[in-house]
């Protein structure tokens, strides 16, 4: 399709960019966006609906604050933000906070609930990093000016488990959606700030839960938005996206059955990696499958008529065909292998003396676990891992474009097609 044709079809289209969770794996997303953002700009299809969860929420804020720049500059700024997210700029050293952790844990065991332990790893450095690395005034101005229609980050209420999308929207956007109550999700209109991003990325138990005070109707304590979200693409569709770009960090291809591997002994690292897979990988895979299946149903006029009647009875808008572009690791072993390679190279004896925290976590989780790399890939805030993961993201985004010359597809992904 020529640039002129792109310009003609893109004028009235609303493009959503969905960035899923991933911790240190967000480097993969930055690499993919270095390829996708310029291509979308060339087609005059730059995203104006920005939706992120956890580490994807941090990138969402960075993108909203740079939306006025050209795509290459925006991608370069993302890379700068990533390179500043090293361990010392994300979390406090374990040795420094050990006394406070022990004291708070002891106070809870004796019933002194005033001093609660909300997480094992302090994120004060991350708060300071977010404050200085994101131009918050420019973010608000880009939304006010309509350069970005909406920027939303997902967090999970600790007490009720409600998935809350803290959303800053341009005045012309209109009312935010009201999902069915059974979905256990809600939107909260607000002016985004550091607390919302910290809440979205607060891995339960590891990082402390975060108190959010604005907006008042959604005030409370929150943890990582990935913990309870089950339909990561739903907000993009509810917000009226005509096309959806999604960049994930979990595997697009489910693992194959392996009876022999199932007989192997397991440890804490294996259990943790299995839990992370259920939270990070499965929802995006299932939602992409649902979207493609729905596209197929809506393309059939007879089926579509019945679906429209059903939606009307529910007082919901009719379904539409929604083209999508999806970039995520082909298999779970890709980023895990990269993480283990960097860990062995940089965190051996000398690395452990300089920074013992990661080595300690590695040993506690079970250093000989076959899935240890999976766990480490979420926590390895190491420049060498960032570079390698970003390179993988760039390569796989280029593969998507080679496999989908028009960028978009509506049919199911081959990796998600059931036999």
Catalytic residues, by residue number, are: 54, 224
Among the listed residues 163, 165, 155, 199, the one whose alpha carbon sits nearest the alpha carbon of residue 182: 163
What is the DSSP pairing of strand 150-157 with strand 220-224? antiparallel
Residue 211 pairs in a beta bridge with 221
Residue 357 CA to residue 365 CA, distance in Å, equals 12
Residue 200 CA to residue 51 CA, distance in Å, equals 12
For residues 205 and 224, the answer to whether their CB atoms sit within 8 Å is: no
Handedness of CA 378, 382, 388, 394 (dihedral sign): positive
- Beta-strand (E) ranges in 252-396? 324-327
314 vs 174, 180, 181, 214, 320, CA distance in Å? 21, 10, 13, 32, 16
Radius of gyration of the chain from its Cα atoms, rounded to whole angstroms: 21
Residue 261 CA to residue 172 CA, distance in Å, equals 55
Half-sphere exposure of 404 (CA within 13 A, CB side): 20
Handedness of CA 274, 278, 280, 281 (dihedral sign): positive
Burial 318-336 (b: 16+ CB within 10 A, else e): ebeebbbbbbbbeebbbbb
274 vs 143, 238, 268, CA distance in Å? 38, 30, 10
């Amino acid at each position: 399709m020529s640039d002129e044709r792109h310009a003609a079809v893109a004028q009235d289209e609303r493009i959503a960019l969905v960035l899923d969770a991933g911790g240190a794996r967000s480097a993969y997303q930055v690499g993919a966006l270095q390829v996708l953002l310029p291509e979308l700009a060339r087609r005059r299809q730059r995203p104006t609906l920005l939706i992120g969860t956890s580490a994807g929420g941090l990138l969402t804020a960075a993108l909203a604050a740079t939306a006025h720049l050209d795509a290459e500059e925006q991608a370069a700024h993302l890379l700068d933000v990533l390179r500043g997210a090293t361990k010392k700029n994300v979390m406090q050293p374990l040795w420094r906070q050990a006394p406070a952790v022990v004291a708070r844990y002891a106070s809870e065991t004796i019933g002194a609930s005033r001093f609660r332990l909300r997480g094992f790893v302090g994120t004060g450095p991350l708060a300071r990093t977010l404050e200085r690395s994101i131009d918050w005034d420019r973010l608000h101005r880009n939304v006010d000016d309509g350069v970005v229609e909406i920027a939303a980050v997902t967090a999970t209420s600790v007490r009720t488990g409600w998935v809350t999308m803290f959303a800053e929207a341009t005045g012309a956007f209109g009312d935010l959606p009201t999902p069915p109550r059974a979905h256990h999700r809600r939107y909260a209109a607000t002016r985004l700030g550091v607390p919302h991003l910290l809440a979205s990325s607060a891995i339960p138990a590891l990082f402390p839960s975060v108190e959010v005070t604005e907006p008042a109707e959604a005030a409370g304590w929150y943890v990582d938005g990935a913990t309870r979200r089950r339909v990561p693409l739903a907000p993009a569709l509810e917000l009226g996206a005509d096309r959806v770009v999604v960049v994930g960090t979990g595997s697009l291809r489910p693992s194959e059955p392996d009876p022999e591997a199932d007989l192997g002994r397991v440890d804490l690292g294996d259990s943790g990696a299995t839990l992370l897979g259920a939270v990070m990988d499965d929802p995006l895979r299932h939602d992409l499958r649902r979207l493609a299946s729905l596209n197929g149903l809506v393309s059939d006029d007879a089926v579509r008529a019945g679906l429209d009647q059903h939606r009307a009875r529910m007082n919901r808008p009719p379904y539409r065909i929604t083209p999508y572009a999806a970039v995520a690791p082909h298999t779970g072993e890709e980023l895990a292998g990269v993480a283990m390679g960097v860990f062995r190279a940089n965190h051996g004896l000398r690395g452990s003396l300089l920074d013992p925290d990661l080595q300690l976590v590695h040993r506690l989780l079970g250093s000989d676990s076959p899935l240890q790399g999976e766990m480490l890939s979420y926590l390895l805030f190491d420049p060498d891992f960032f570079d390698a993961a970003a390179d993988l993201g760039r390569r796989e985004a280029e593969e998507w474009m080679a496999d989908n010359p028009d960028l978009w597809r509506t049919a199911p992904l081959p990796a998600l097609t059931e036999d």
